[in-house]
């Protein structure tokens, strides 16, 4: 059969054949991805079986058409299945507003790809299409409702004039604010085209078009535009919704944008209450039973950008421009691996990421973890995603006092647009892409001389005679430039 899909289809075909005898109009749907991504060579789907394909969201670049050269490796998958089945469906992904893939919220849109992709699916003979593109509840993706509007119109007729669709949408959705909002939308679409690296729905690096000048001008223009509209105007609320991601992104990347805002008399910290006010107003744009629940979700994500955490005593003399730190707001727990942020009075911050998988196979000093990656239990890395540059420390012994200690990872680290701190496989992880600086290209601007993390180890797998739970706690990780 050439893949596991043959076994799946032998099972599905039997069900489909039995159902067809009594209910010939019913179609049975099954997946053509993950373990069944490769079409079988012998057992083909029955005529009443619908194969659901997916444009793999961890790989495919949704901001460019599938026919773009950067997505060339995705086309074979679709064409191979077209040869192997009568009925095709696609589950497609756009720019996702879920917190795991939207940290921090950022200005971008999939508009450049929508029409081309829908034409591609039509020509492929796809009969059913589902698009996953949930809008964020407090910081909506840029012009996401226009993406929905365009997608819905093009599903009816992929040949519709998207320029005319935009004319209609912006005129009636933004009213007197339409000209400037249309200009902003066009600027975003054109700016995104200059990006050279591949993005994905799951991992998005910094967009190069978001220069300090562009960010300041957009912030300034939209604030003035909002103020020019009546306070109770629906048009004003819609303009304000688009302001949120620009303000949030400026706060999250203050090291890149702080200077130009300061030159215009605006401190980045002054944007924090402004962003919070706009986000909470957006949450309440419609009647909501429990807006406070969404407020909490907003604050949980927002704190990574705004919290002014106390600096460790060890690094108190490092100048601010030469110091970067991640802590509990930045760490992401992985429930299936037993990690989550917890209260911890032993930490100077009061909270830490705790990795405490109940399965003992995940614990011990310098043990190989289950899985393909050959990760080790006491291995810690800070490095770039799909790009050269990382530093690694494998601990072959750990302190026996079950207290926090600082560990230095040897080597210098040059950060690229997407970077991560990870430990114990992926049980301990934090996205550190916010530390990438927008510069004139000098690698020294993103090079850090020392890399540190603070951790404690508990339980008999790490400490002889311990009666505590097997766990690794990490409460902070630090980058410094220079010697102090």
Q: Which residue has the tokens 């591609």?
A: 120
Domain assignment of residue 162, yes or no: yes
Instruction: Tell me the residue range of the domain where 449 lies.
Output: 313-480
* DSSP H/E element including 354: strand 351-355
Give yes or no: residues 321 and 418 share one domain.
yes
Give yes or no: residues 240 and 271 share one domain.
yes
Domain assignment of residue 199, yes or no: no
Please provide the DSSP assignment of 237-270 as one string: HHHHHHHHHHHHHHHHTHHHHHHHHHHTT--GGG
Among 290, 306, 322, the domain boundary falls at 306
* DSSP H/E element including 475: strand 471-480
Q: Where are the beta strands (DSSP E) in 158-231?
A: none
- Nearest Cα to Cα of residue 471 among 335, 355, 390: 355
Give yes or no: residues 227 and 180 share one domain.
no
Give yes or no: residues 254 and 372 share one domain.
no
- Cβ partners under 8 Å of residue 420, min gap 6: 381, 382, 383, 385, 429, 430, 431, 432
Give yes or no: residues 10 and 98 share one domain.
yes
- Nearest Cα to Cα of residue 62 among 195, 208, 241: 195
Give yes or no: residues 295 and 345 share one domain.
no
Please provide the DSSP assignment of 270-288 as one string: GHHHHHHHHHHHHHTSS--
Say what the pLDDT of residue 346 is.
98
| pLDDT tens digit sequence for 414-450 | 999 899 999 999 999 999 998 988 776 788 889 999 9
Are 351 and 343 in contact by the 8 Å Cβ rule? The answer is yes
Domain assignment of residue 367, yes or no: yes
Among 279, 306, 333, the domain boundary falls at 306
Is the confidence at residue 343, as pLDDT, over 90?
A: yes
**DSSP alpha helix (H) spans, 85-161:** 111-124, 144-156
Give yes or no: residues 243 and 137 share one domain.
no
Instruction: Please state the φ and ψ torsions of residue 50, each to the nearest 5 degrees.
Output: -100, 120
Give yes or no: residues 165 and 300 share one domain.
no
Give yes or no: residues 162 and 109 share one domain.
yes
Say what the pLDDT of residue 279 is.
98
Structure pTM? 0.84
Among 192, 223, 241, the domain boundary falls at 192
Domain assignment of residue 208, yes or no: no
**Beta partners for 393?**
380
Cα separation of 241 and 138, whole Å? Answer: 9
pLDDT interval class at 317 (50, 70, 90): very high
First to last CA, the chain: 62
The three-class DSSP label of residue 150 is helix
Domain assignment of residue 224, yes or no: yes
Domain assignment of residue 164, yes or no: yes
| pLDDT tens digit sequence for 223-271 | 999 999 999 999 999 999 999 999 999 999 998 899 999 999 999 999 9
Domain assignment of residue 154, yes or no: yes
Domain assignment of residue 204, yes or no: no
Is the confidence at residue 387, as pLDDT, over 90?
A: no
Give yes or no: residues 301 and 319 share one domain.
no
Give yes or no: residues 458 and 331 share one domain.
yes
Strand arrangement of the beta sheet that strand 87-93 belongs to: 28-31, 49-54, 87-93, 128-132
| pLDDT tens digit sequence for 61-110 | 999 999 999 999 999 999 999 999 999 999 999 999 987 789 899 999 99
**Number of domains making up the chain:** 3
Question: CA dist 288 to 24, 154, 241, 333, 447, Å?
Answer: 44, 31, 17, 29, 46
Any idea what the Cα angle at residue 297 is, between residues 275 and 425, rounded to 5°? Answer: 110
Give yes or no: residues 117 and 171 share one domain.
yes
């Amino acid at each position: 059969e050439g893949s596991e899909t043959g076994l799946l289809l032998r099972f599905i075909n039997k069900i489909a054949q039995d159902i067809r005898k009594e209910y010939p109009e019913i179609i049975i749907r099954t997946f053509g991805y993950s373990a069944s991504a490769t079409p079988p060579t012998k057992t083909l789907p029955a005529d009443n079986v619908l194969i659901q394909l997916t444009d793999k969201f961890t790989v495919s670049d949704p901001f460019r058409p599938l026919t773009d050269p950067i997505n060339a490796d995705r086309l074979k998958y679709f064409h191979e299945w077209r040869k192997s089945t009568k009925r095709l469906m696609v589950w497609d992904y756009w720019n996702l507003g879920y917190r795991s893939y939207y940290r921090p919220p950022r200005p971008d849109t999939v508009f450049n790809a929508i029409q081309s992709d829908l034409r591609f699916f039509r020509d492929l003979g796809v009969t059913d299409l589902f698009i996953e593109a949930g809008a964020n509840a407090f910081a909506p993706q840029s012009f996401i409702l226009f993406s929905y509007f365009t997608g819905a119109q093009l599903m009816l007729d992929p040949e519709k004039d998207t320029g005319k669709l935009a004319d209609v949408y912006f005129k009636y959705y933004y009213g007197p604010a339409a000209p400037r909002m249309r200009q902003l939308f066009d600027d975003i679409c054109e700016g995104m085209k200059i990006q050279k690296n591949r993005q994905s729905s799951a991992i998005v690096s910094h967009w190069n078009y978001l220069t300090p000048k562009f960010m300041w001008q957009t912030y300034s223009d939209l604030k003035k535009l909002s103020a020019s509209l009546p306070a109770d105007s629906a048009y004003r609320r819609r303009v304000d919704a688009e302001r949120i991601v620009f303000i949030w992104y400026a706060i999250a990347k203050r090291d890149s944008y702080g200077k130009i805002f300061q030159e215009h008399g605006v401190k980045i910290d002054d944007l924090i209450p402004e962003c919070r006010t706009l986000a909470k107003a957006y949450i309440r744009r419609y009647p909501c039973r429990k807006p406070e629940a969404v407020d909490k979700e907003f604050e949980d994500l927002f704190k990574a950008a705004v919290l002014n955490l106390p600096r460790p005593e060890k690094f108190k003399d490092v100048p601010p421009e030469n110091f970067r730190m991640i802590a509990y707001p930045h760490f992401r727990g992985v429930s299936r691996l037993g990690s989550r942020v917890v209260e911890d009075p032993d930490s100077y911050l009061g909270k830490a990421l705790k990795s405490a998988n109940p399965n003992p196979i995940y614990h011990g000093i310098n043990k190989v973890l289950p899985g393909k990656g050959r990760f080790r239990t006491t291995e810690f890395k800070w490095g770039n995603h799909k790009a050269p540059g990382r530093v690694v420390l494998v601990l072959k012994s750990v302190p026996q006092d079950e207290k926090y200690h600082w560990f230095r990872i040897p080597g210098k680290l040059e950060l690229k647009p997407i970077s991560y701190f990870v430990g114990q496989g992926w049980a301990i992880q934090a996205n550190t892409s916010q530390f990438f600086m927008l510069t004139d290209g000098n690698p020294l601007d993103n090079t850090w001389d020392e890399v540190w993390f603070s951790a404690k180890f508990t339980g008999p797998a790490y400490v002889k005679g311990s009666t505590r739970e097997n766990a690794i706690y990490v409460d902070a990780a630090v980058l410094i430039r220079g010697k102090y």
